[in-house]
Amino acid sequence: MPTALYRLILACLLLLPLGAYANDANDFAAANNSEQAQLLESWAAHPTPGRVELINGLQQGQISVDGEVKTLRLNNRLRGLIDTALASHQLLAVDPKLRLNAAQQLQKSAKPAQLKFLDQQLAAETDSDVRSALSLALANLQLVDPDPAVRLAAVRLLGETGEPLARTRLENLLQPDIETDASVRTAAETSLAQVKRKLLIGDLLGQAFSGLSLGSILLLAALGLAITFGLLGVINMAHGEMLMLGAYSTYCVQLLFQRFAPGAIEFYPLLALPVAFFVTAAVGMVLERTIIRHLYGRPLETLLATWGISLILIQLVRVLFGAQNVEVANPAWLSGGLHVLPNLVLPYNRLVIIVFALAVVVLTWLLLNKTRLGLNVRAVTQNRNMAACCGVPTGRVDMLAFGLGSGIAGLGGVALSQIGNVGPDLGQGYIIDSFLVVVLGGVGQLAGTVYAAFGLGIANKILEPQIGAVLGKILILGLIILFIQKRPQGLFALKGRVID
């Protein structure tokens, strides 16, 4: 029975440290906050494998004293120290992945007391990735080493990274009277320049990404309007509420998943897409058939009527779901982000939304340009009477086109629910931006909408760091007003013979 034997040995091994480290748990549980902090610091400096379990528990906020599990009251300082202590202990782990994570954590938070331990670990480390991560963590501490040669090596090593923290450390070192050795000072200056260059690249990429991301959100918000306003010419003030309905559909789908399929909750946004599309498309078509079609050609009345519809929809949602925002949670695959550079994290939800926005544009374009419905829509927008003469059922086409525009707004709502609030007023925040994008892009042009959305997004994000969010927004609005004065037809005008 070898397995049983192994198990027995394993159990004994597990039990052994328990006896020795039960004391640690007792000490910790009995200590006050500052004593706990001291304990954690000393554990971080002198880790022993048997304590891993205890610290792991602490990270979850639990401690077991005499076989009884207690919940701890931690604060942020203790949590930080626990993370460091745990990383210190994980350097002893067998799995190189764990060790790598630990070394990376220690780059940020290692304390001088850990220097000796890190030195030992580095000497014993076999994995090359972990080695380089660990030597970097060590370099941070070696900046104050008495031996100039060690400092020089550390400074050079820091220059290799693009860490924002390395920059501060080098800057501190270069303060007058801190570093006295001339050669280390010169090396620090070169390293600092190197780090700054790397950080600049990250910053620029980050700005470009946030511009793209804002652009994709504007695009999703405006794309539906580009059809209802751009192609059909309906000044649709209720467009924002279609976004809102899309977001609430997402919420309802999430609720249904929670109740009936909690196992598959991760994938609720995927089902929310078709649901939101059909719900908003249906609402849009009903509105078109009952109200808007009677008002074609009378833009002022349409404006008032659709605005009234928007108020009714807001109040309806308020009555049904309450005035408070509802909670739409990001599923795990949309939470967190991709670490590209040390100072550049691309959040998954934003990445997905950029891809999604482009996919929706492509689908819409295909629908409008490659299908019979699209042909009819274009024919009706260009010349309603002529299209009717040729046998195009203009009424039905109007209805379907309006439904399509609303449905796309619903899709936009699903995306918006993943980055912002879901509340009755959700649409109000986007309606102005949507009109701006469509008008700026040129009414009746899908391509114009795309360019305008990304242009506005990127311009906004270039201006924001320089002059702040409030002024940036004002400046953008001013620029658009000037632009529209100069070019009332927008970026792209419809070419050819358009009879209205």
Partner 1 sequence: MKRRSLIKAFTLTASIAAMGMSWTLQAAETIKVGILHSLSGTMAISETSLKDMALMTIDEINAKGGVNGKMLEAVVVDPASNWPLFAEKSRQLLTQDKVAVVFGCWTSVSRKSVLPVFEELNGLLFYPVQYEGEEMSPNVFYTGAAPNQQAIPAVEYLMSEDGGSAKRFVLLGTDYVYPRTTNKILRAFLHSKGVADKDIEEVYTPFGHSDYQTIVSNIKKFSAGGKTAVISTVNGDSNVPFYKELANQGLKATDVPVIAFSVGEEELRGIDTKPLVGNLAAWNYFESVENPVNKKFVNDWKAYAKAHNLPGADKAVTNDPMEATYVGIHMWAQAAEKAKSTDVDKVREAMAGQTFAAPSGYTLTMDKTNHHLHKPVMIGEIQDDGQFNVVWQTKEPIRAQPWSPYIPGNDKKPDYAVKSN
Q: Encode burial over 26-54: b for 16+ CB neighbours within 10 A, e otherwise.
A: eebeeeeeeebbebbbebbbebeebbbbb
Summarize the chain as % helix, strand, coil (round to 5): 75, 5, 20
Position among 26, 38, 62, 315 found at the interface with partner 1 (CB under 8 A): 315
Q: Encode 364-394 in three state secondary structure.
A: HHHHHHHCHHHHHHHHHHHCHHHHHHCCCCH
Counting Cβ atoms within 10 Å, is residue 352 exposed (0-12), middle (13-18) or buried (19+)? middle
Q: Is 49 in the site for partner 1 (CB under 8 A)?
A: no
Q: Is 476 in the site for partner 1 (CB under 8 A)?
A: no
Strands 344-347 vs 62-65: parallel, antiparallel or unpaired: unpaired
For residue 143 the two structure tokens come to 């900046």
Q: How far apart are CA 50 and CA 355, in angstroms?
A: 47
CB-nearer residue toward partner 1: 348 or 492: 348
CB-nearer residue toward partner 1: 29 or 304: 304
| CA contacts within 13 A on the Cβ side of 81 | 18
Q: How far apart are CA 464 and CA 479, in angstroms?
A: 15
CB-nearer residue toward partner 1: 47 or 427: 427
Own/partner long-range contacts of 480-489 (Cβ < 8 Å, ≥24 apart): 480/436, 480/440, 483/440, 484/439, 484/440, 489/442, 489/443
Q: How far apart are CA 354 and CA 347, in angstroms?
A: 11
CB-nearer residue toward partner 1: 214 or 285: 214
Position among 76, 126, 128, 485 found at the interface with partner 1 (CB under 8 A): 76
Smallest gap from Cβ 303 to partner 1, in A, equals: 10
Q: Is 59 in the site for partner 1 (CB under 8 A)?
A: no
- Dihedrals φ, ψ of 347, to 5°? -65, 140
Smallest gap from Cβ 80 to partner 1, in A, equals: 4
- Dihedrals φ, ψ of 339, to 5°? -80, 105
* CA-atom Rg of the chain in angstroms: 31
Position among 100, 188, 214, 453 found at the interface with partner 1 (CB under 8 A): 214
Q: How far apart are CA 445 and CA 226, in angstroms?
A: 7
Task: Say how many residues touch partner 1, by CB under 8 A.
Answer: 63
Sign of CA dihedral 416, 421, 422, 428: negative
CB-nearer residue toward partner 1: 10 or 469: 469
CB-nearer residue toward partner 1: 192 or 214: 214
Placement of tokens 């001339």 in the chain: 182
Smallest gap from Cβ 415 to partner 1, in A, equals: 13
Q: Is 77 in the site for partner 1 (CB under 8 A)?
A: yes
Position among 135, 161, 213, 364 found at the interface with partner 1 (CB under 8 A): 213
Range in contact with partner 1 (rule: CB under 8 A) among 96-104, 173-181, 213-221, 368-376: 213-221
Position among 143, 217, 272, 399 found at the interface with partner 1 (CB under 8 A): 217
Q: Is 132 in the site for partner 1 (CB under 8 A)?
A: no
Q: Site residues for partner 1, window 160-179 (CB under 8 A)?
A: 164-165, 167-168
- Encoded one letter per residue, x for contact with partner 1 by CB under 8 A and - for no contact, window 281-310 reads -----------------------x------
Q: Which of 56, 67, 60, 88 is nearest to 18 (CA)?
A: 67
- Encoded one letter per residue, x for contact with partner 1 by CB under 8 A and - for no contact, window 420-449 reads xxxxxx---x--------------------
Position among 26, 33, 258, 371 found at the interface with partner 1 (CB under 8 A): 33
Q: Is 99 in the site for partner 1 (CB under 8 A)?
A: no
CB 65, CB 29: distance < 8 Å: yes
Q: Is 197 in the site for partner 1 (CB under 8 A)?
A: no
Range in contact with partner 1 (rule: CB under 8 A) among 240-248, 279-287, 325-333, 395-403: 325-333
Q: Which of 319, 4, 205, 348 is nearest to 311 (CA)?
A: 319
CB 302, CB 237: distance < 8 Å: no
Smallest gap from Cβ 306 to partner 1, in A, equals: 13
Range in contact with partner 1 (rule: CB under 8 A) among 9-17, 74-82, 284-292, 485-493: 74-82
Q: Is 56 in the site for partner 1 (CB under 8 A)?
A: no
Three-state SS at 360: helix
Three-state SS at 92: coil
Q: Is 455 in the site for partner 1 (CB under 8 A)?
A: no
Position among 16, 469, 481, 482 found at the interface with partner 1 (CB under 8 A): 469
- Encoded one letter per residue, x for contact with partner 1 by CB under 8 A and - for no contact, window 332-371 reads ---xxx-x---x-x-xxxx---------------------
Q: Is 191 in the site for partner 1 (CB under 8 A)?
A: no
Range in contact with partner 1 (rule: CB under 8 A) among 40-48, 73-81, 175-183, 485-493: 73-81
Smallest gap from Cβ 464 to partner 1, in A, equals: 5
Q: How far apart are CA 96 and CA 116, in angstroms?
A: 21
Q: How far apart are CA 244 and CA 208, in angstroms?
A: 28
- Dihedrals φ, ψ of 63, to 5°? -140, 140
Q: Is 417 in the site for partner 1 (CB under 8 A)?
A: no
CB 280, CB 410: distance < 8 Å: yes
Binding site for partner 1 (CB under 8 A): 33-34, 37, 73, 75-77, 79-80, 83, 108, 164-165, 167-168, 203, 206-207, 210, 213-214, 217, 304, 315, 318-330, 335-337, 339, 343, 345, 347-350, 419-425, 429, 460-461, 464-465, 468-470, 473
